[in-house]
C-alpha cells in the first residue's frame, strides 16, 4: 500500500509538471482581432524584424549588453559564418535565448537571419533559403 | 473508534507521510496527503519547522529576491550560519517598486530618472497577491506589511479593439452582460426547439430555462433585448434619477457577431481564472514593502553589489567567487558547507557552476518570457473624474495590452500614476525592442485611443522591459511541458552541495508564492540532509 501511494504521488507530480503557471496563456490563432495579442510578429522584412524582436536583447546596434549576465554581440560575430547556427538559435532558442520558431514563419526566420549576416560588420552574403529553415523546423 | 485507536491510526499515517517525504520529496508527500483527504487548496503548510541542530553548518545563499530572502531567514532562524549574496544594491529582486527620484539604468545603458510625485509608484514586476498565495500572506503578516484590495475586475473599465466598434472602447459590463445574454438566448431557443431532448431530461430543461432567463437577463419571451431587464446587468443608457429627471433607458446590446469577431469577450476570462480570482491584494505603498522588511533583519549577513562569477563544490563544501557588480573587479571568495542558489537560470547558465551534466543541461534549457510595463503620470485622475473607472484593468488588442488604474487614493483630487502598458510573452518583444523613452511615447500614443485625455494630461513616465533589466534576462521562466518533463526534477534535486530555489523551480513561475514555496521545499530537504548526517 505504501508503495502504491508513492507511485501515485510521483505520477501526479509529473502530471502537474505539465502545467506551467505563466502569466498569460497564448490565444488560439484567429483571423479576427485578438485581445491577448498575436504570437506572430507583424514585421516581415529582415530589418524590421531585427528592430522589433532581436534588438530587445542584442540592442539596436547589435552590440549586445551586460549586467549580471550578458547578451552576445551579433555585430562582427564569427558564429554567423555558417547560417545553420543562427537559424537554429532563432527557431529553437538556447540558454536565455527564447525559441521563435512558433512565432515566425520560415520566410521571417530566413529574412532576419539573412539581415543579421549581412549587416553590423558581418558580410556572409549567401542568403538563407526557405528550404534551410524548413529543414531545421522538420528536424526539431 | 476509541481515542487510543485514533492515535494509532494518526501516528501510522504521519509515519507514512514522513517516509514518503523522505523517499520522494515534499511534493510527492503533499500529493499523497491530498489523496487521503488531508491538505487542501494551497501547498503552504504554515511556518516552516526545521527541527534538529545544524551544528554550526554554514549555507551560502545566492540572490536576495523572495527565494533567497526566505531561505536565509528560515535557515538562520534554525541555527545555521548564513551568508546572503546579491547582485543589485537592494534586496527584493523582481519584487520592486519604482518611485519619483529613482534612477534606472538598463542593459542598453539608457538612464531614466523617474519623475513621479511623492506617494505615486509603479510595480514593474509582480503587482498582485491572490488570496490563495498563503505563503506570501503569512510573511506579509509576520513582517507587518499592510494589504489593500487589488481590483481585478472593474465592470466599468474598457475593453477595446482597434478594428471594431469604430475603435471606440466598450464597457466591460456591457461586453459581459451581452455575451451572457446572447448565449442564454441561443441555448433557450435550442431547448424550446426540443434539440436538447437527447442530453437533458424534460425536468432539467424546465430548470435550465429558468436559470438561463435569470443568468442571461432575458425577457419574458426568452430573448435578450434592449430594456430595463438587460440594463440591470449591462448598465443604463440614461441612468436612474430623481424628481422630474428623465426616465431610465436601457441601451442596445452589442451584436453577438461583433462580440465574437472583436475578441472582446475574452476579457471575461481574466477575472474567472484561479490565479486572478477575487479576493486579490496588493501591499500598501508598493510591492517592495515585504522583501524590504525581511531584508532589514538580514542586513548583517547580506552582501549587496556582488556579481557571482563561479560556484565550485567538492565533498567538503562550496566555494563562491564574486566581484564588485559595478566595477567587475575585486574578486572575493566565500566558503560554506552548502549553497542555496536562487539566481535566474539564464544568468546561472553564464556562470561557471560545478553541477552534474543533467542539471547543467536543464539550466541551459530554459529561457525567460518578455514583459514590458510602463507607468504614466497624469495631471489629474481623469479616468475617475471623466470615465468613472476606479481601479481595475482595461484591455485592448493594441500592443500595450492593458491599462491598469491605481487601486488606492480613489476619488482624490490631484495627480495619478497608472500602468499604461502590460505586454507579456513573445508579443511583447515589439515593445521590448524599443528604448524606454519610445516605450513611454508608444504607451501615450496607444493609450489615447482609449482615453483621449492622455494627450493633454500626460506629465511623465517610466518604462521597464524585463529583458533589459540588468539582473535577469526576462521576466519569468517559460517552461514548456516537454522541458518540465525532461529537466524539472534534475534541477530541483539537491546536486552535491548545491540546491536551486526560486519561482522558476515551482509550478508558479512568475509568482512570488512560487519562489516562497520553492525556497521552503529546498531548505527543508537540505536541512533533512544536514541533520541526518
Q: What is the DSSP string of B361-398?
A: HHHTT--B--EEEEEEEESS-HHHHTT---SEEEEESS
Å between A18 CA and nearest CA of chain B: 4
Q: Cell numbers of B195, please?
A: 434539440
Point out the residue among B20, B364, B472 whose CB comes nearest to the CB of A94: B364
Interchain pair B433, A55: CB under 8 A? yes
Touching check for B31 and chain A: CB below 8 Å?
yes
Å between A83 CA and nearest CA of chain B: 22
Provide φ and ψ at B110, rounded to 5°. Answer: -65, 135
Best residue of A58, A96, A99, A104 to probe chain B, by most B CBs closer than 10 Å: A96
Interchain pair A2, B20: CB under 8 A? yes
Q: Cell numbers of B86, please?
A: 546579491
pTM: 0.89
For residue B136, how many other CB atoms are within 10 A of its CB? Answer: 27
Per-residue model confidence (pLDDT) at position B175: 98
Q: How far apart are alpha carbons B79 and B517 in whole angstroms?
A: 21
Based on DSSP, count helices (H) and strands (E) in chain A, helices before strands: 6, 2
Point out the residue among A36, A68, A99 whose CB comes nearest to the CB of B347: A68
Per-residue model confidence (pLDDT) at position A31: 62
Interchain pair B468, A65: CB under 8 A? yes
Sheet holding B318-324, edge to edge: B332-336, B318-324, B306-313, B352-353
- Residue B278 near residue B271 (C-beta atoms within 8 A): yes
- Residue B425 near residue B480 (C-beta atoms within 8 A): no
Which helix (H) or strand (E) element contains residue B74? helix B66-77
Per-residue model confidence (pLDDT) at position B41: 57
* Cα A128 to chain centroid, rounded: 16
Residues of A in contact with B343 (CB under 8 A): 68
Residues of B in contact with A60 (CB under 8 A): 433
Point out the residue among A2, A24, A57 whose CB comes nearest to the CB of B467: A57
Nearest-Cα residue of chain B relative to residue A23: B510
How many CB contacts within 8 angstroms connect chain A with chain B?
200
Return the exposure string of B436-474: e unless at least 16 CB atoms fall within 10 Å of the residue's CB, then b. Answer: beebbebbbebbebbbebbeebbebbbbbbbbbbbbbbb
**Dihedral sign for Cα atoms in the order B400, B403, B404, B406:** positive
Interchain pair A69, B473: CB under 8 A? yes
Best residue of A9, A29, A39 to probe chain B, by most B CBs closer than 10 Å: A9
Nearest-Cα residue of chain A relative to residue B362: A95
Residues of A in contact with B159 (CB under 8 A): 35
Per-residue model confidence (pLDDT) at position A30: 52
Looking at the DSSP assignment, which residues form a beta bridge with residue B396? B160
**Beta strand B306-313 pairing with B352-353:** parallel
- Residue B366 near residue B478 (C-beta atoms within 8 A): yes
Residues of B in contact with A70 (CB under 8 A): 350
Touching check for B423 and chain A: CB below 8 Å?
yes
Best residue of A61, A69, A102, A103 to probe chain B, by most B CBs closer than 10 Å: A69
Q: Cell numbers of A82, please?
A: 555558417
Å between B425 CA and nearest CA of chain A: 8
**Beta strand A70-71 pairing with A65-66:** antiparallel
Point out the residue among A9, A20, A53 whose CB comes nearest to the CB of B28: A9
Which helix (H) or strand (E) element contains residue A66? strand A65-66
Touching check for A8 and chain B: CB below 8 Å?
yes
Nearest-Cα residue of chain A relative to residue B396: A35
Interchain pair A100, B433: CB under 8 A? no
**Alpha-carbon distances of A112 from A37, A58, A98, A129, B435, rounded to whole Å:** 21, 13, 15, 12, 20
Residues of A in contact with B308 (CB under 8 A): 68
Please state the length of chain B: 533
Residues of A in contact with B425 (CB under 8 A): 22-24, 26, 37, 39
Touching check for A96 and chain B: CB below 8 Å?
yes
Per-residue model confidence (pLDDT) at position B426: 81
Å between B114 CA and nearest CA of chain A: 21
Please state the length of chain A: 140
Touching check for A21 and chain B: CB below 8 Å?
yes
Give average pLDDT by consecutive 10-residue segment, chain A, 140 residues: 38 33 43 72 94 97 97 98 97 95 94 98 96 91
Please enumerate in sequence order all residues whose Cβ is within 8 A of that of B171, keeping only pairs 6 or more positions apart, or say none: B155, B156, B157, B158, B159, B234, B235
Residues of B in contact with A26 (CB under 8 A): 425
Residues of A in contact with B509 (CB under 8 A): 20-22
Predicted-complex ipTM score? 0.87
Residues of B in contact with A37 (CB under 8 A): 397, 399, 401, 423, 425, 427-428
Q: For B52, how many CA atoms within 13 A lie in the half-sphere containing its CB?
A: 11
Residues of A in contact with B484 (CB under 8 A): 17-18, 20
Best residue of A12, A17, A73 to probe chain B, by most B CBs closer than 10 Å: A17
Q: Which residues of chain B fall short of a pLDDT of 50?
A: 1-14, 16-26, 29-40
Looking at the DSSP assignment, which residues form a beta bridge with residue B96? none
Residues of A in contact with B164 (CB under 8 A): 33
- Residue window 44-83, chain A: list those with CB within 8 Å of chain B: 51-57, 59-60, 65-71
Please name which of B525, B470, B515 lies closest in space to residue B494, comparing C-alpha atoms.
Answer: B525
Per-residue model confidence (pLDDT) at position B232: 98
Å between B227 CA and nearest CA of chain A: 29
Per-residue model confidence (pLDDT) at position B427: 80
Interchain pair A96, B31: CB under 8 A? no
| H-state helical runs in B163-308 | 172-192, 202-215, 228-234, 256-262, 267-272, 289-297
Touching check for A121 and chain B: CB below 8 Å?
no
Touching check for B166 and chain A: CB below 8 Å?
no
Touching check for B108 and chain A: CB below 8 Å?
yes
Amino acid at each position: 500500500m505504501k508503495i502504491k501511494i508513492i507511485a501515485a504521488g510521483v505520477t501526479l507530480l509529473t502530471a502537474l509538471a505539465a502545467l506551467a503557471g505563466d502569466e498569460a496563456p497564448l490565444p488560439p490563432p484567429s483571423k479576427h482581432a485578438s485581445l491577448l495579442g498575436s504570437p506572430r510578429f507583424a514585421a516581415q522584412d529582415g530589418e524590421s524584424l531585427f528592430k522589433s524582436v532581436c534588438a530587445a536583447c542584442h540592442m539596436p546596434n547589435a552590440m549586445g549588453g551586460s549586467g549580471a549576465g550578458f547578451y552576445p554581440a551579433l555585430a562582427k560575430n564569427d558564429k554567423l559564418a555558417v547560417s545553420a547556427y543562427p537559424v537554429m538559435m532563432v527557431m529553437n532558442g538556447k540558454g536565455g535565448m527564447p525559441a521563435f520558431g512558433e512565432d515566425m514563419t520560415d520566410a521571417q526566420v530566413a529574412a532576419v537571419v539573412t539581415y543579421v549576416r549581412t549587416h553590423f560588420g558581418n558580410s556572409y552574403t549567401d542568403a538563407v533559403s526557405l528550404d534551410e529553415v524548413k529543414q531545421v523546423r522538420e528536424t526539431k | 473508534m476509541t481515542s487510543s485507536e485514533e492515535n494509532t491510526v494518526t501516528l501510522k499515517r504521519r509515519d507514512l507521510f514522513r517516509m514518503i517525504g523522505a523517499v520522494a520529496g515534499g511534493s510527492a508527500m503533499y500529493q499523497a496527503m491530498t489523496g487521503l483527504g488531508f491538505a487542501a487548496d494551497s501547498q503552504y503548510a504554515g511556518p516552516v519547522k526545521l527541527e534538529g541542530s545544524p551544528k554550526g553548518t554554514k549555507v551560502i545563499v545566492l540572490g536576495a529576491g523572495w527565494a533567497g530572502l526566505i531561505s536565509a531567514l528560515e535557515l538562520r532562524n534554525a541555527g545555521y550560519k548564513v551568508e546572503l549574496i546579491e547582485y543589485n544594491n537592494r534586496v527584493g529582486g523582481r519584487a520592486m517598486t519604482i518611485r519619483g527620484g529613482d534612477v534606472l539604468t538598463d542593459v542598453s545603458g539608457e538612464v531614466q530618472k523617474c519623475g513621479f510625485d511623492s506617494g505615486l509608484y509603479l510595480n514593474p514586476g509582480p503587482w498582485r497577491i491572490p488570496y490563495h498565495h498563503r505563503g506570501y500572506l503569512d510573511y506579509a503578516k509576520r513582517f507587518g506589511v499592510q494589504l489593500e484590495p487589488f481590483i481585478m475586475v472593474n465592470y466599468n473599465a474598457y475593453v477595446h479593439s482597434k478594428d471594431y466598434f469604430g475603435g471606440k472602447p466598450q464597457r466591460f459590463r456591457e461586453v459581459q452582460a451581452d455575451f451572457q445574454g446572447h448565449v442564454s438566448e441561443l441555448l433557450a431557443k435550442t431547448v424550446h426547439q426540443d434539440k436538447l431532448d437527447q442530453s437533458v431530461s424534460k425536468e432539467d430543461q424546465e430548470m435550465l430555462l429558468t436559470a438561463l432567463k435569470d443568468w442571461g437577463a432575458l425577457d419574458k419571451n426568452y430573448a435578450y433585448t434592449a430594456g430595463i431587464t438587460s440594463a440591470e446587468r449591462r448598465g443604463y443608457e440614461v441612468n436612474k434619477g430623481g424628481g422630474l429627471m428623465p426616465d431610465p433607458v436601457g441601451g442596445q446590446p452589442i451584436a453577438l457577431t461583433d462580440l465574437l469577431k472583436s475578441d472582446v469577450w475574452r476579457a471575461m476570462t481574466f477575472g474567472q481564472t484561479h490565479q486572478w480570482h477575487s479576493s486579490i491584494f496588493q501591499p500598501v505603498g508598493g510591492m517592495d514593502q515585504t522583501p524590504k522588511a525581511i531584508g532589514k533583519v538580514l542586513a548583517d549577513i547580506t552582501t549587496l553589489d556582488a556579481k557571482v562569477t563561479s560556484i565550485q563544490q567538492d565533498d567538503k563544501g562550496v566555494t563562491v567567487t564574486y566581484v564588485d557588480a559595478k566595477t567587475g573587479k575585486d574578486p572575493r571568495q566565500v566558503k560554506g558547507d552548502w549553497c542555496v542558489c536562487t539566481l535566474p537560470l539564464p544568468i546561472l547558465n553564464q556562470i561557471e557552476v560545478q553541477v552534474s551534466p543533467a542539471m547543467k543541461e536543464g539550466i541551459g534549457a530554459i529561457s525567460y518570457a518578455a514583459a514590458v510595463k510602463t507607468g504614466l503620470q497624469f495631471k489629474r485622475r481623469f479616468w475617475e473624474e471623466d470615465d468613472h473607472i476606479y481601479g481595475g484593468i482595461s484591455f485592448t488588442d493594441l500592443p500595450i495590452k492593458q491599462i491598469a488604474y491605481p487601486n488606492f487614493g480613489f476619488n482624490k483630487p490631484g495627480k495619478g500614476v497608472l500602468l499604461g502598458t502590460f505586454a507579456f510573452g513573445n508579443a511583447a518583444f515589439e515593445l521590448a525592442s524599443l528604448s524606454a523613452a519610445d516605450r513611454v511615447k508608444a504607451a501615450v500614443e496607444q493609450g489615447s485611443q482609449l482615453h483621449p485625455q492622455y494627450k493633454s494630461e500626460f506629465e511623465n513616465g517610466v518604462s521597464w522591459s524585463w529583458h533589459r533589466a540588468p539582473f535577469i534576462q526576462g521576466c519569468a521562466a517559460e517552461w514548456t511541458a516537454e522541458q518540465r518533463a525532461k529537466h524539472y526534477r534534475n534541477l530541483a534535486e539537491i546536486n552535491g552541495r548545491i540546491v536551486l530555489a526560486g519561482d522558476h523551480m515551482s509550478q508558479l513561475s512568475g509568482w512570488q508564492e512560487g519562489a516562497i514555496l520553492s525556497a521552503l521545499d529546498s531548505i527543508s530537504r537540505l536541512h533533512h540532509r544536514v541533520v541526518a548526517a
